[in-house]
Amino acid sequence: MMKKSMCCCSLAALRTHKPLPFPVCISLSVVAAASPRRCLSKSLSSPSSSLNAVLSIAADDYRPPSSFHFGPSLRRGHLPEPPPLSLNHSSEDGDGGVIEKAKFCRVFDVAALRVPVEECAALESHLRGHLLNWPRVRNIARVPGDDLDLEIRRLLREGEGDGGARLDSLAARVDGRADVETAALSPVLYREKLAKEFNCSGFLKFRNLAKLSRPKKKKKKLNSKDGGDLASKNLEKNDSYVVKVIGDEKDKGDLSGLLGEDFKGRRWRGPTRLLLLDEKYAKKGVSELPEAIKVPMIPLSSSFELVQCQLALFYDYWSMSELLEALLPEGLIVPTGFETIGHIAHLNLRDEHLPFRKLIAQIVLDKNRPKIQTVVNKMDAIQNEYRTMQLEVLVGNHSLVTTVVENGFRFQVDLGKVYWNSKLATERQRLICSFTRSDVVCDVFSGVGPIAISAARKVKCVFANDLNPNAVEYLERNIVLNKLERKVEFSITTDFFWSRLLVCHSRVLDFLVFNMEGRRFIAAMFTTQLRYSITQVVMNLPNDATEFLDAFRGVFRNTPRSARTLPKIHVYGFSKAQNPEYDFQERINVALCAEVVDVEMHRVRLVAPGKWMLCASFILPEDIAFGK
């Protein structure tokens, strides 16, 4: 059975993809290296085995195809040499599904202009069209050592007049060869010097003992194994990509030809940044750069360098759909969306995705942390009376209790026990906007209270009801959560409804909570003389709310017409008809056994192809309310 399309907060579409040139392997327990394609066919023939799936991409088999020429793609670039071991950790779920993150590293050759930091921003805007402009990669890159210590910078400036002599001297001292005894040393250099001399000279006068004895800041240890060429300080800061300059030490590619003999052999002596150039300039020389790049640099007074770089993109860089395209077998539609309810990502996977559900869930979790903590899949269509969903927790923490913020209110829900649908937020807002301060609202199917609670801030009085005791419990919690508890006089249950109602006659009624069957609730609310007349009735049970409309027949039959206000009813329903409004109106007429006029119809949303959710709003016809 094919399932409905996946619900999606941002992208509802599902799309097919061409396979990547590396195979996906799913096997029971071992990371397959030898024959991944065999593993794939095996696992696909027995989907249940994927419960403990271990996924591997055969890096050796990777061949970049020629059809993709530009832009970041897992189909392009080359694998790092040696692989960045620091990224070799895997994403793992409780059932053993593993994504080998290191296999998603791709290295791209790009050229960059090394420019003084002060001029970097201006140059970036001048050269924008010639820069790399890749999503999630900054055109301005930083590499270790591009920021000089201010003190060193000052010394360098002082050294301008003496030619290279003082610079050489400084370089010698930085290298630990303190050959200039008389020079004023920076605190760091001074400390180094003292440390070296202490043993042989005995007692020494410290310039600033407090500073010198301050413990060093702890640095994160880089595992020597993790070294790899790509592991650097930057890698610690940014897990999605890193830039490395190739042959940095060799000082080649300066623009002396472009900027004149003055700059020949000299490098800028301050902090620098890299401006990453468009891919097409990779491995090109200065003479091959277009005038549009050269000209903006000529008036600038500093030296520039054209350097060749490697840009490595890691697992964290790639989007959810890029990863899924890489991982799912050939020809399988890539699921691209999910619904978010608090910290829970709610998937609605098709049958063909089910063998890969843990893998998909793991990627959803990885790509949406920390907001998402749990990923669940809807197992079946909502069928039960309380409209709760059958959910399978795929990865993350197993709690289905979450807090949702909607229209400025907070709602705690347990998705396993109560109904919640974030997609109705706009509709609820629309409805509440139509209420006024003098309204008295009766929410027949209130759930955990998104309509009742939001309305309570605006209207005079709210009566909220739900058949599900768990929903009523969460409704009461949410009343407290939203600081409306002073408005709640008490809650009434079916058993002692009448006795308590007599008590409440003498009190101010603002918000009453009921746990009753809908039809009985309507009858009870309208046949009793309440302090306030109900002006708005909300019936949000789209599958069969119209079946409850007959409960309004004759509700005012024992009262004089002048003593009653006719309420406005907002009833929800679905329709697959060609003319959904006409179809829904017909069903309302049948339920009330009358021709209802002046019905305002509103299309709420398309819940499935050709199936509309509608809201019909109308004043309860007098003949029905007062009829026998």
Ligand X SMILES: C[S@@+](CC[C@H](N)C(=O)[O-])C[C@H]1O[C@@H](n2cnc3c(N)ncnc32)[C@H](O)[C@@H]1O
* Contacts with ligand X, residue ranges (CB under 6 A): 385-387, 419-420, 424, 445-447, 450-451, 466-468, 471, 517-518, 540-541
Phi, psi of 170 (to 5 degrees): -65, -45
Least separation in angstroms between residue 522's CB and ligand X is 9
User: Which letter, b or e, does each residue of 545-562 get, where b requires 16 or more Cβ atoms within 10 Å of its Cβ?
Assistant: bbebbebbbbbbeeeeee
Least separation in angstroms between residue 452's CB and ligand X is 8
Fill in the DSSP letter of residue 334: B
Least separation in angstroms between residue 478's CB and ligand X is 11
Q: Say whether 428 counts as a known binding-site residue.
A: yes
Q: What amino acid is encoded at 474 in this protein?
A: Y
d(CA 62, CA 403): 44
**8 Å CB contact between 274 and 142:** yes
Q: With respect to ligand X, which residue has the nearer C-beta, 19 or 416?
A: 416
Angle at the Cα of 255 (from 249 to 256), degrees rounded to 5?
100
Q: Which helix (H) or strand (E) holds 432?
A: helix 425-433
Q: With respect to ligand X, which residue has the nearer C-beta, 190 or 497?
A: 497
Question: Could you tell me what percentage of the chain is helix, strand and coil, using 3-state DSSP and rounding each to the nearest 5?
Answer: 35, 20, 45
Q: Say whether 540 counts as a known binding-site residue.
A: yes
Report the C-alpha dihedral over residues 595, 600, 601, 604, rounded to 10 degrees: -140
Q: Say whether 164 counts as a known binding-site residue.
A: no
Q: With respect to ligand X, which residue has the nearer C-beta, 362 or 470?
A: 470
Least separation in angstroms between residue 421's CB and ligand X is 6
Least separation in angstroms between residue 483's CB and ligand X is 20
**Packed helices 320-327 and 357-368: angle between N→C axes, nearest 10 degrees:** 150
Q: Say whether 175 counts as a known binding-site residue.
A: no
Q: With respect to ligand X, which residue has the nearer C-beta, 54 or 538?
A: 538
Q: With respect to ligand X, which residue has the nearer C-beta, 50 or 446?
A: 446
Q: With respect to ligand X, which residue has the nearer C-beta, 77 or 447?
A: 447
Least separation in angstroms between residue 450's CB and ligand X is 5
Fill in the DSSP letter of residue 277: B
Q: With respect to ligand X, which residue has the nearer C-beta, 245 or 440?
A: 440
Q: Say whether 467 counts as a known binding-site residue.
A: yes
Among positive and negative, which fits the CA dihedral 450, 456, 460, 466? positive
Least separation in angstroms between residue 283's CB and ligand X is 59
Closest CA to 556 of 464, 621, 461, 466: 621
Q: With respect to ligand X, which residue has the nearer C-beta, 62 or 420?
A: 420
Q: With respect to ligand X, which residue has the nearer C-beta, 228 or 447?
A: 447
Least separation in angstroms between residue 419's CB and ligand X is 4
Least separation in angstroms between residue 111's CB and ligand X is 56
Q: With respect to ligand X, which residue has the nearer C-beta, 386 or 532?
A: 386
User: Which letter, b or e, does each residue of 156-191 get, where b requires 16 or more Cβ atoms within 10 Å of its Cβ?
Assistant: beebeeeeeebbebbeebbeeebeeeeeebbeebbb
d(CA 31, CA 53): 9
**8 Å CB contact between 466 and 453:** no
Neighbour order of strands in the sheet with 391-396: 339-341, 344-347, 374-378, 391-396
Instruction: Extract the tokens encoding 165.
Output: 């002599």
Closest CA to 309 of 348, 346, 339, 273: 273
Residue nearest to ligand X (CB): 447
Least separation in angstroms between residue 446's CB and ligand X is 6
| Residues whose CB falls within 8 Å of the CB of residue 472, separated by 6 or more in sequence, listed in order | 466, 491, 513, 514, 515
Q: What amino acid is encoded at 484 in this protein?
A: L
Which amino acids are annotated as binding site for S-adenosyl-L-methionine, given as ranges? 428, 466-467, 517-518, 540
Binding residues: 428, 466-467, 517-518, 540
